[in-house]
Amino acid sequence: MSATDGLLVEAAQLAAELDTADPPTLLDVRWRLAGPPGRIDYAAGHLPSAVFVDLDTALCGPPGPAGRHPLPDPAALQAALRAAGVRAGHHVVVYDGGDGMAAARAWWTLRWAGHRPVRVLHGGFPAWLAADLPVSTDEPHPVTGDVTVTPGGLPVLDAAAAARLAAADDGVLLDVRAASRYRGEHEPVDPVAGHVPGAVNLPAPEYVADGRFPSGAALRDRFADAGVSAEASVGAYCGSGVTAAQAVLALHLAGRPDAALYVGSWSNWVADPDRPVAVSPPPEA
């Protein structure tokens, strides 16, 4: 059994599963931080039978002090998933535009909500196209699902827990934003630049490229280089909890299903001006 079983699915394997009597439910979660909306891409072409689910409005709560992509209201999430045809105990596959971030946040959200049989299409929509598999512009109307959202399926950090983890001798809080944002040199989105004191910087491109993950062994080595030993508690954050969800997926692939997500991430941390902010000197030339 490979490390990706139950977490990722390749395009060819998914195509075979869709051609069965009980195919998985497909959720198209294409999304871009700066737009345009993913529904435009969905309308232009998507996997046959896929239902579009908006990350901003269906999989996350409204932006505010809790962050730009906070946890969704469980009842609202349940209604959105049922409208998309998600059934209790039935397999779900999520995919995005290829970078793997929105799909990872969708995967994380369903797992957090208690729905375990969910996988990410490895490489997203571009991988499906590269395999010369069919695309549709028809919008399906799925039978309403019966999934029940039960929060708590994956560990979550709030600001206080993130601070404790970053300060712990046996813990590692990973900041997976670009190094310039971590160091406080540049902040394109949030009002304050810097990082959570004690957090370790591991930019996402160092463990995933173009939405595709290396082997579990390679991921374990990369996280170990960042201080994530087998004994260390580990959590991750980014700007608003999307890229960090991908880090949690990578940690699962590396054999760390206990990895926690700071959902509010930096956008929540800086919402309270009393929280400390650390900056780092730029690397020597």
Catalytic site positions = 238
User: Please, is 51 exposed, middle or buried when counting C-beta atoms within 10 Å of its C-beta (0-12, 13-18, 19+)?
Assistant: buried
- Strands of 233-237's sheet, edge to edge? 156-157, 260-262, 233-237, 171-175, 200-201
Contact 240, 108 (CB under 8 A): no
DSSP state, residue 172: E
CA distance 272 to 280: 21
Closest-CA residue to 125 (of 193, 32, 233, 194)? 32
With residues binned 3-state (H G I as helix, E B as strand, rest as coil), the percentages for the chain, rounded to 5, are 30, 15, 55
